[in-house]
Amino acid sequence: MPRRIGIIGFRGYSGAELVQILGRHSGVETILMEHRQDVENRPEPIGRPGLRRIPATAEAAAAESLALVFLATPAEVSMDLAPKLVEKGVKTVDLSGAFRLKTVENYAKWYKEEHVAADLLAEAAYSVPEFHRSLVPGARLISNPGCYPTAANLALRPLVAAGLVDRSAGIVCDAKSGVSGAGRKASLKTSFCEVTENFSAYSILDHRHVPEILMTSGLEEREFSFTAQLIPIDRGILETLYFRVNPGVTAERILDVYQAAYAQETFVRLYKPGQVPDLHAVRRTNFCDIGFKFDAATGRIVVVSVIDNLVKGAAGQAIQNMNLALGFPEQESLL
């Protein structure tokens, strides 16, 4: 019998992606949880039965015996709903930034808001499955990583951990994202005429995803320069990372470290030194593709890391975490 899975925020871009991917999952029934009446009324075909809908409450989730609920909601909504769901014994995967950082102080510093669920913040299992797989089965609340940090951490952490990176010279991460990363809402900034034929940088050096990258990669803030930028495309993140490696490190060594880290991983793919992926390589997939160009004479390296922000950067990775949490094969519905 399929496990029942609830989605709150199913009209947003990440929520809609959850619905679509779960539609290919052999072990679940998707339930839409109505949180707020949307004004939007897209025309719908006649006579096609949709998914079942219930209210977006912890009570309804418990009454329906939901095995797990996805929160594809803004951080303030997640902070409100997650404690209630967890209290009712409903496993929860939160896609917002509400439970990614470990302390209320750090949250206040980067999100410029007070955190109202401090206990749960400390308890939540932050999980990039490739790094934190073991934490997931026992967790009541799983915090799904941010889109920018996913691409950055998969590229940085193995090299930093292996001591290959010359941290004294600093690490640059120049990040570009499609517009769906900003969420589904009316906004002049993301309106077509403002975005098309444009390219813009925002949150330079102070993006709220920075502490997530520091936390997982092992870098420190003063070593790490991050710029987020908006590309006129629907979906996709490409990050170009620049740093120097320590003396004696070769391209072979770099590739070895990556291969050792990801030999057993389905969703991280590597390229031959000198070759890098573009966004089309990972479009509508749960893959993170990583390639690099290395100049042996000077130790300079440029790493390119790409994901689909709505899949590996949001819904896909959340379902990867759900699969781990509920004992499904990790790749189910994701290949």
Contact between 112 and its own copies per CB under 8 A:
no
CA–CA distance, 73 with 95 (Å, rounded to integer)? 7
CB of 58 to its own copies, least distance (A): 29
Which residues are CB-neighbours of 285 under 8 A, at least 6 positions away? 308, 311, 312, 316
Q: How many residues bind its own copies (CB under 8 A)?
A: 76
The answer to whether the CB of 325 falls within 8 A of the CB of 139 is: yes
Instruction: Indicate the residue among 57 and 240 with the shorter CB distance to its own copies.
Output: 240
Strand-pair partners of 237: 177, 307
Which region holds residue 67: left if phi is over 0, alpha if psi is between -120 and 50, else beta?
Answer: alpha
Q: Which residues does the annotation mark as catalytic?
A: 147
How many angstroms separate the CA atoms of 188 and 126, rounded? Answer: 33
The 266-295 contact track toward its own copies, x by CB under 8 A, reads ---xxxx--xxxxxxx-xx----x-x-x-x
186 binds its own copies (CB under 8 A): yes
Single out the segment in contact with its own copies by CB under 8 A; choices: 43-51, 106-114, 155-163, 319-327. Answer: 43-51
**Cα gap 100→208, rounded to integer Å:** 11
Q: What is the DSSP letter of 37?
A: -
Nearer to its own copies (CB atom), residue 52 or residue 272: 272
Residue type, 151: A
Residue among 62, 68, 57, 76 at smallest CA distance from 92: 68
Q: Which of 27, 74, 83, 232 binds its own copies (CB under 8 A)?
A: 232
Q: For residue 58, give both structure tokens.
A: 């912890």
Q: Which member of 51, 59, 122, 198 binds its own copies (CB under 8 A)?
A: 198
Q: Judged by CB under 8 A, which stretch of 88-96, 155-163, 222-230, 311-319 contacts its own copies?
A: 222-230
Give the β-pairing of 200-202 and 224-230. Answer: antiparallel
* Three-state SS at 72: coil
Interface pattern 141-170 for its own copies (x via CB under 8 A): ---------------------------xxx
- Chain residues 241-270 in contact with its own copies, contact rule CB under 8 A: 242, 244, 259, 269-270
- Rule CB under 8 A: is residue 74 a binding residue for its own copies? no
Toward its own copies, which CB reaches closer, 179 or 325? 179
Using the contact rule CB under 8 A, the part of the chain among 29-37, 119-127, 129-137, 220-228 near its own copies is: 220-228
Contact status: 119 vs its own copies (CB under 8 A): no
Could you please report the per-residue DSSP string of 122-169?
HH-EE--HHHHGGGSTT-SEEEPPPHHHHHHHHHHHHHHHTT-B-GGG
Would you say 65 or 298 has its CB closer to its own copies? 298
Cβ nearer to its own copies, comparing 1 with 193? 193
Taking CB under 8 A as the rule, does residue 238 contact its own copies? yes
Spell out the residues 6+ positions from residue 280 whose beta carbon is closer than 8 angstroms to its own: none
Rounded to a whole number of angstroms, the minimum distance from the CB of residue 11 to its own copies is 10
Report the C-alpha gap between 288 and 306 in whole angstroms.
Answer: 6
Site for its own copies in 304-333 (CB under 8 A): 304
Q: Shortest Cβ distance from residue 66 to its own copies (Å)?
A: 24
What's the min distance (Å) between Cβ of 136 and its own copies?
Answer: 25
